[in-house]
Amino acid sequence: MRIDEALAWAKSRLETESPRLDAEVLLAHVLGKGRTYLISHNDSVLDEPALQAYQRLIAERETGRPVAHLIGKREFWSLEFQVSPATLIPRPETELLVELVLEEAAPAGAKVLDLGTGTGAIACALAHERPDWRFTAVDVSQEAVELATTNVLSLGLTNVRCLRSNWYDAVGDEQFHVIVSNPPYIDALDIHLTQGDVRFEPASALVAADHGLADIRMIAAGAGRHLLAGGLLAVEHGYDQGAAAREIFSTAGYVDVRTHQDLAGHDRITLGRLPE
């Protein structure tokens, strides 16, 4: 079977949101090539081992397994991260959190805490842009901490430490200039939990009590003890949680509270500062 024929076959099998992209990414992975290779060599014939490997991956994707899990990696902030079923898969909308933190004023040598780091994507993306900042990335899952550590090392970052911690527990009385988090924020009854990639991701990283707001409340309440005066708190949340997040921040005493929308126009990131 030729490359173009294999892609056509795969696209006819897949009923995902992006069958063409999925088919191309999986075949490029099997061949160890970039997606542009598939275009320039579309008449090349796949050998039998490659074809069988590709057919197995397409069969797995048909069950709904995420492409990132099938190839073991996902790009975020133009960096390559290893992924596993133990953590959330980094998503494009979370790049807005990175952008906003980089735009906010923080001094050279700033200390940043990433709560619930998962793959380490947020901390690593920020650390890549600001090698002068120092990062602490924590997660309650030991598997996540090990994965984040692997990503820190593979990206050659020397300004990120990864710790196992139930939110703030492992940082003691340490204070930071910036605290960031993409916490669990989905209601347990949300129908989206039965759809798409989230079916294969850990519920502990997705679901929070109090209609998805419990962890955001806890983070906002605890950040006051761990932020330096004037420090920034930046949290990702659900598309319909902007107003609630702003109320949580304001009630907890933060100032300059504001919500930013993602590229789809949905409320996505709420920021606030500890008063000077």
Point out the annotated binding site for substrate.
Answer: 182-185
Q: What is the largest CA-CA distance in the chain?
A: 66
Binding site as annotated, residues = 116-120, 139, 167, 182-185
The answer to whether the CB of 256 falls within 8 A of the CB of 271 is yes
Torsion of CA 152, 153, 156, 160, to 10 degrees: 40
**DSSP secondary structure string for all residues of 105-120:** ---TT-EEEEES-TTT
Give the pair of three-digit tokens for residue 191: 């129908």
Neighbours of 109 (CB within 10 A): 10
DSSP structure class, residue 170: G
Binding site as annotated, residues for S-adenosyl-L-methionine = 116-120, 139, 167, 182
212 three-state secondary structure:
helix
